[in-house]
Each structure stands twice: as C-alpha cells, then as structure tokens.
Amino acid sequence: MSSVILSTAIRLLLPLLLLFSVFLLLRGHNEPGGGFVGGLVAAAAIALYALAEGAGAARRLLKLDPRSLIAFGLALALTSGMIPLLFGQPLLTGLWLPFPLPVLGHVGTPLLFDVGVYLLVAGMALLIVLSLMEE
C-alpha cells in the first residue's frame, strides 16, 4: 500500500494535523473543540501516516506504546480529579489558576482533565488501528 502522493502529502499534513489537534484541545473550553475531538484528530493523523509508511514507522514516530498513552491519559484525568481533594474540595471540582498563562490562557484542573481525555482517546484509536494493521 505504498503511494508516493500519500507519503509526500502526509509529511506536510502530519505536523499540521497534530498542531491542529492540540489547537482543538486548547481552545475547546471556549470555542468548539476539546480533548475528545482533538484526540481523534491526532489519532487520524498518525493513522494516515501509518497507512502511508507502515505501522512500524508509525510506532517509531510515536515512540510511546499506545497502551501507555491510554494508561497515562486515564491516570492524568484521575489525578486532575484528585487534586481538589488535597484542598478539601469534593472530587473533580474545577480549580483554576488565578492568572492567565501566555499561549494557554486560563489554566485549571479541567484542562488537565481534557488533556487526559485527549491522550486516552488518541491512544485507544491508535491501539486498535495499529494492532489491526500489524495482525
């Protein structure tokens, strides 16, 4: 399944798509977007790369095993929910930094939660796609 057009295009598209996925993740709190769709876009980008260059190349590009992404994402989402417990608040209460950060804007535990969702969704989609390709 090697195609010159696809593999040339993906070299340009991959960074753009990944950047776009992070953009979707970060703007999600105020504009359409969010961790779920961001994760899907990231997974789609890498899946496209895998279609063009093979699953092994995609894994090398990814460096991390998709299973670790899933575990890390779930752990991150859980941690973000636990942080309020340290401040005596109920689980999953949204806590925010009092001042906006450059580029990121307002930062709080919900953003951390969304990053967890992003990683988990991307990891899940990639786990299935890559396992199917390698079978």
Q: Are 121 and 25 in contact (CB under 8 A)?
A: no
Check residue 125 for interaction with another protein (CB under 8 A). yes
Options 31, 61, 68, 89; binder of another protein; rule CB under 8 A: 31
Closest CA to 124 of 74, 76, 67, 79: 67
Tokens describing residue 6: 């696809």
Of positions 57, 64, 94, 104, contacts another protein by CB under 8 A: 94
80 close to 133: Cβ distance less than 8 angstroms: no
Q: Which residues here bind another protein, judged by CB under 8 A?
A: 24, 28-37, 40-41, 43-44, 47-48, 51, 67, 70-71, 73-74, 77-78, 81, 91-92, 94, 96, 106, 108, 110-111, 113-114, 116-117, 120-121, 123-125, 127-129, 131-135
